[in-house]
Homo-oligomer: A and B are copies of this chain.
Amino acid sequence: MQEDKPTKKVAVVGGGLAGALMAVYMAKRGFKVDVYEARKDPRSEATIRGRSVNLAFSVRGIESLKAVGADDSVRELGIPMNARMIHSHNGRTTPIPYGKKGQFLLSVERQKLNKDLLSVAETYPGVDLHFEHKLIASDLERGHLSFRRNGNDDQRLEVDADLVIGSDGAYSTIRRELLRRPRFDFSQEYIPHGYKELCLAPTKDGEFAMAVNYLHIWPRQTFMMIALPNQDKSFTCTLFLPFEEFDKMKTKEAVLDFFQAEFPDFLALMGEENLVEEYFRNPVAPMISVKCHPYHVRDKVVIIGDAAHAMVPFYGQGTNCAFEDCLVFDGLLEKHSNDFGAVLAEYSRTRNKDVEAMCDLAMYNYIEMRALVTSPVFLMKKKLFNFLHWIMPNTFIPLYTMVSFSQIPYHTVIERSHWQDKVVWRAAVATAVVTGIGAIITALRITKKDLKLF
């Protein structure tokens, strides 16, 4: 028993990706950590498909895992994606690299990573995992939590913690309690699109059905489909479509007509029967963007990950950002010698502007991914920026590179991106003006000369 030691007790509410990693961070600091998760232990169950977009892991996520030596599983599980692969209507494919050579995203199955992280957390003696513990009441000021166990109203558990970390996801119960407190800013916004997963199985020969090291995108202006490779040589494909369009496709014929018109190459790979089966088996899920402030209550409670900042999935930064929360929070614990009061206040204040910047970037990419990647002007700008980055690697970094392949704080990313756009714009205008003035001067000289001739 650890009870005799004056160790501080940390209760982590929610054992998803952020909660599991946070448990590792807290255990490494020597705290007694209890993780309470409403669902069953995912490791005791078969993987359930169809409800969550694959992870596109990048630098922030990897570095946050590396800091506590938990990056092995991602490196083993992940499949590198070096570029986007754009699929046009006629089946033509065009790769657009993510960054420089050697810069790639890792396609990782969400649930596999979650299971691995829970197992890593459990290797620490200070960590206890409690599944089927549903939070039903709390007194945030005092750090008191009441759980219902095993879905049984008679089985209650009362917990007092020195620090409560709410990592209970986009529909967080802890955040709902924060919402009752004075001067808590909050917004949640559903986008008009829903998403549906479709699994593209390996070929008969047991191979990937499409080029493997790519994030495949079928941009169609008002909607799109993407596909990420899995270790079992399947692809997890995700169709993003306005809810009202999903609602219209009620019959097998309607679905096949739609795919024939919009994604004929994909339909050929899937096969009609298979596609229809997948389509009607999997649900349509909504996407929410959540912002709030502050993230903490005194020295007692803090929320992280989706509970604090759920974002739409179009930049692949949801989990990367949640993992970075853990790294940043740990840095503040180090800075303030584990003084929870000081840490929570600074975390709330400084982290807020970064994660809200990321929520905005994700919403921006919601447009870029389905529409802009098909625009020649956009592609030209991308090439120009990559060129500028090549000649001035530290001064000029494309937006996507800053987000995915650096640890520059997100709000600085936006500021620098605006600055870069402005510089390029001014340079373009200046070039135009200089050229124009040159032309005028030339013209005037000619006139003068001409006049002298008379």
Majority DSSP secondary structure for residues of A touching B? strand
Shortest C-beta distance, A178 to chain B (Å), equals 11
User: Is A425 an interface residue, CB under 8 A from the partner?
Assistant: no
Shortest C-beta distance, A450 to chain B (Å), equals 18
As a 0/1 sequence over residues 181 to 213 of chain A, the CB contacts with chain B under 8 angstroms (1 = contact) are 011111111100000000000000000000000
User: Is A286 an interface residue, CB under 8 A from the partner?
Assistant: yes
Q: Is the CB of A188 within 8 A of B190?
A: no
The interface residues of chain B lying within 8 Å CB-to-CB of A182 are: 286
Q: Is the CB of A186 within 8 A of B183?
A: no
Cross-chain contact of A185 among B183, B188, B243 (Cβ < 8 A) = B188
> How many copies of the shown chain assemble into the complex?
2
The interface residues of chain B lying within 8 Å CB-to-CB of A286 are: 182-183
Shortest C-beta distance, A357 to chain B (Å), equals 17
Q: Is the CB of A186 within 8 A of B185?
A: no
Cross-chain contact of A186 among B184, B186, B243 (Cβ < 8 A) = B186
**Which B-chain residue is minimally distant from A188 (CB atoms)?**
B186
As a 0/1 sequence over residues 165 to 184 of chain A, the CB contacts with chain B under 8 angstroms (1 = contact) are 00000000000000100111
Shortest C-beta distance, A95 to chain B (Å), equals 36
* Docked CA distance A186–B185 (Å): 11
The interface residues of chain B lying within 8 Å CB-to-CB of A186 are: 186-188
Shortest C-beta distance, A169 to chain B (Å), equals 15
* Docked CA distance A281–B286 (Å): 49
**Which B-chain residue is minimally distant from A182 (CB atoms)?**
B286
Shortest C-beta distance, A200 to chain B (Å), equals 28
* Docked CA distance A196–B184 (Å): 20
Cross-chain contact of A188 among B187, B189, B243 (Cβ < 8 A) = B187
* Docked CA distance A243–B189 (Å): 28
Q: Which residues of A in the span 229-249 have a Cβ within 8 Å of any Cβ on B?
A: 243
Cross-chain contact of A190 among B185, B187, B190 (Cβ < 8 A) = B185
Shortest C-beta distance, A254 to chain B (Å), equals 23
The interface residues of chain B lying within 8 Å CB-to-CB of A190 are: 183-185
Centre residue among A183, A186, A243 by max chain B CB count within 10 A? A183
* Docked CA distance A183–B193 (Å): 11
Shortest C-beta distance, A246 to chain B (Å), equals 13
The interface residues of chain B lying within 8 Å CB-to-CB of A185 are: 188-190
Shortest C-beta distance, A444 to chain B (Å), equals 15
The interface residues of chain B lying within 8 Å CB-to-CB of A189 are: 185, 187
The interface residues of chain B lying within 8 Å CB-to-CB of A187 are: 186-189
As a 0/1 sequence over residues 54 to 73 of chain A, the CB contacts with chain B under 8 angstroms (1 = contact) are 00000000000000000000
* Docked CA distance A188–B180 (Å): 11
* Docked CA distance A179–B184 (Å): 15
* Docked CA distance A18–B306 (Å): 36
* Docked CA distance A185–B189 (Å): 5
* Docked CA distance A243–B182 (Å): 13
The interface residues of chain B lying within 8 Å CB-to-CB of A179 are: 188
The interface residues of chain B lying within 8 Å CB-to-CB of A188 are: 179, 184-187
**Which B-chain residue is minimally distant from A291 (CB atoms)?**
B187
The interface residues of chain B lying within 8 Å CB-to-CB of A243 are: 183
The interface residues of chain B lying within 8 Å CB-to-CB of A184 are: 188, 190
* Docked CA distance A182–B287 (Å): 10
* Docked CA distance A189–B286 (Å): 24
**Which B-chain residue is minimally distant from A285 (CB atoms)?**
B182
Centre residue among A179, A184, A187 by max chain B CB count within 10 A? A187
A-B contact pairs, 16 of them (CB 8 A): A179-B188, A182-B286, A183-B190, A183-B243, A183-B286, A184-B188, A184-B190, A185-B188, A185-B189, A185-B190, A186-B186, A186-B187, A186-B188, A187-B187, A187-B188, A187-B189
List of 3 A-B pairs having minimum Cβ-Cβ separation, nearest first = A187-B187, A183-B190, A185-B189
Extra A-B contacts (10), CB below 8 Å, given A179-B188, A186-B188: A182-B286, A183-B190, A183-B243, A183-B286, A184-B190, A185-B189, A186-B186, A186-B187, A187-B187, A187-B188
